[in-house]
Amino acid sequence: MLYLQVRSLPRMDVRESRLEPTWSPSAFLPAQKMLLNAHAGAGTKGGNVPRPKWRPLCCLILLAVFLGLVPAAPTQAGLGDFSIQDEAELGRKFNVLIRSRFPLVYDPIVLDQVRDILIRVRQNIPPQPFDITVGVLRDDSINAFAAPAGYLFVNSGLILAMQSEDELAAVLAHEMAHVTERHLASNIERSQTINLATLAGVLAGILLGGGSEAGQALAVGSMAGGQAAALKYSRDDEREADHLGLQYLARSGYDPEGMARSFERIKERMRLSGAGSGPAYMSTHPGVTERIDYIREVALRLQGGESRDLEPSPRFRKVQTLLRARYTEARSAWNYFQQYEGDPCLRRLGRGITAARLNRVDRAKELFSGPPPCEEISALWHREVGRFYFGLGQFDRALTHLNKALRESPEDYMALFFQARILGEKGETAEAVKALRKVLRYVPQDPEVHRTLGRIMGRSGDAFSGYLHYAYAALYRNRKEQCSKYLDKVREMAQTGQQKEKLEQFEEKYEVRKKYW
């Protein structure tokens, strides 16, 4: 199980209560104009120009005063009966629930793209009491959602539907605005429903979308429909997220008009696929067209009346190629790349990956033959060719390519994982264990890495470590009976002081995790 964290800025007090937004588009424009003037020249597409630290805070205060979003007097931390601690507890439970029930994309090339966008936006929002944790769900539907306590999830289908980083950043900025304004916490407080045992499932059903079968299954039996409806974002919540998201985008150097374009793409995809195939707010609230028109109007003002409509970067196209080829249905992906008329390097990479997934071995060998078709995808090319030959059991040939991938991209822990598996198969146990421990520094909760490490250490005669990592694999897969069985073995074998210390560390994690099962 993989999670990447963006470290939080200094902790801030969260207001005890919030004023209901009473503003309108016309009321927003003066504040928006003042913010635009205050930040003129503060950020560019290539980076941020140094500026006095007080200016962003002052501008946020001015914006908040104009919008009537904060009380004039200081308030206490916490939000009524639903405190920061309650939200943190609910967020942890929600995170475990989602990550244990749905497949995620663990690929560093995909996650680094999302993480880098999020970090850039994160630097331009008010200080938050939570870290921001991001995951990419392997799901073709177009959705992204912010869960309690700063847990953010993006569907792979959303990344594939966007046409540039600016559009993806727009969706993330919109969701970050829900986080900064604690909209979910406010709705929970108003609903007077503070049952953490059932809230996580209900929220999952809401945030995954009304048309999501998985979301419906999680919510069934948890709460009456009327209570669940009370937790959904209101029209005012969504408008506030639109407005603040535009500010976050502009201050991060992204094209704020990307929000209008991203909403248009989501709206069109939902029209073709059905209302339940996208974010709930795009189908449950009327006036989407009016929202898009207004967002575009404000975006144009923020960028001086010029529309940029930027092309996707080579990096973003590479990410989309990998997502489609490796993580969507193989036959559909093959058909897509057969008709693809874009970059010939990406077309060949996509066809090679999908041919291998379809067991068209001869065709995959033909497509993967020779050097990388272009320098921009060299490291990824060698990694994917290495994975292909690993699957064929041709370990020496696979290792040659994986070593090249790691020389070009040392932090590609996916390539490192397959390198470690080959070293283990070749009997080079010490090197395999060293590599897998390095992988775990990147993905400490990935059950497959723990399972592989446990198997290799068990084969080498270290039964205690073997069962310990099997127990970790079961723990992070939420396999309760398996975890208990392996834990009993670990307890029996713990003899030395070091082993007992490792057992104690595991039991601490086990006790925490049990609360969310």
Q: Is residue 403 part of a domain?
A: no
Choose the final residue of a domain: 369, 391, 415.
Answer: 369
Q: How many CB atoms lie within 10 A of CB 493?
A: 17
Q: Which residue has the higher pLDDT, 73 or 410?
A: 410
41 and 112 assigned to the same domain: yes
Helix, strand and coil in the chain, % to nearest 5: 65, 5, 30
Strands (E), 363-450: none
User: Strand 4-6 vs strand 43-44: parallel, antiparallel, or unpaired?
Assistant: unpaired
Q: Could you give the 3-state DSSP secondary structure of residue 239?
A: helix
40 and 167 assigned to the same domain: yes
Residue 206: the pLDDT is 75
68 and 138 assigned to the same domain: yes
Q: Is residue 298 part of a domain?
A: yes
pLDDT tens-digit map of 235-284: 899 999 999 999 999 999 999 999 999 999 988 887 776 655 556 555 54
Query: Average of pLDDT values for 138-153?
Result: 92
What percent of the chain is predicted at pLDDT more than 70?
A: 75
Amino acid at site 150: G
Query: Average of pLDDT values for 360-380?
Result: 97
Query: Average of pLDDT values for 24-38?
Result: 34
Q: Residue 402: pLDDT band by 50, 70, 90 thresholds?
A: very high
317 and 290 assigned to the same domain: no
75 and 216 assigned to the same domain: yes
Q: Is residue 502 part of a domain?
A: no
Q: Is residue 80 part of a domain?
A: yes
Averaged pLDDT score across all residues of the chain: 81
Residue 224: the pLDDT is 47
277 and 348 assigned to the same domain: no
pLDDT tens-digit map of 464-499: 999 999 999 999 998 999 999 999 999 999 999 999
Strands (E), 11-130: 43-44, 47-48
Q: Is residue 52 part of a domain?
A: yes
Q: Is residue 348 part of a domain?
A: yes
Q: Which domain holds residue 229?
A: 23-302
52 and 162 assigned to the same domain: yes
283 and 320 assigned to the same domain: no
Choose the final residue of a domain: 268, 302, 336.
Answer: 302
220 and 351 assigned to the same domain: no
109 and 169 assigned to the same domain: yes
Is the pLDDT confidence value at 438 over 90?
Answer: yes
Q: Is residue 133 part of a domain?
A: yes
CA distance 140 to 161: 9
Residue 133, H or E segment: strand 132-137
Q: Is residue 432 part of a domain?
A: no
Choose the final residue of a domain: 369, 389, 406.
Answer: 369
Q: Are 108 and 124 in contact (CB under 8 A)?
A: no
Total domains in the chain come to 2
232 and 281 assigned to the same domain: yes
134 and 165 assigned to the same domain: yes
User: Strand 4-6 vs strand 47-48: parallel, antiparallel, or unpaired?
Assistant: unpaired
